[in-house]
Amino acid sequence: MFWPRKRGVCGTPLDHQEVIRVLHIRQIRREEGQTMAEYGVVLAVITVMCLSALTLLSGNVTSALVRVAGLVGLGG
């Protein structure tokens, strides 16, 4: 039995390969969106870790600078 070809949005023939191509493009776009979200999460985690390290080490850095200033003769 003969089945007529379906027509796409613009009236162009819509075949199996065209459907696969459109679905593949959608999958690529979806993956790119997930990738950007993942980059955002990684950036947020790195930022929190850097701020935490600076907060935890600030006392040690201050005391080291005070000792160096005392050795150099700049301390009061």
- At residue 35, the pLDDT reads 77
How far is 7 from 14, CA to CA, in rounded Å? 5
Read off the pTM: 0.44
pLDDT at 10: 58
Is 72 contained in some domain?
A: yes
Does the residue 3 lie in any domain?
no
In a domain, 62, yes or no: yes
pLDDT of residue 37: 83
Phi, psi angles (nearest 5°) of residue 7: -110, 140
Count: domains in the chain: 1
Phi, psi of 52 (to 5 degrees): -65, -45
Residue 47 lies in a domain: yes
Q: What is the pLDDT of residues 21-74, one digit of tens each?
A: 888 887 776 666 667 888 899 999 999 999 999 899 888 888 988 899 888 887
8 vs 23: which has the higher pLDDT: 23
Q: Flag whether 23 is in a domain.
A: yes
Grade residue 1 by pLDDT with cuts at 50, 70 and 90.
very low
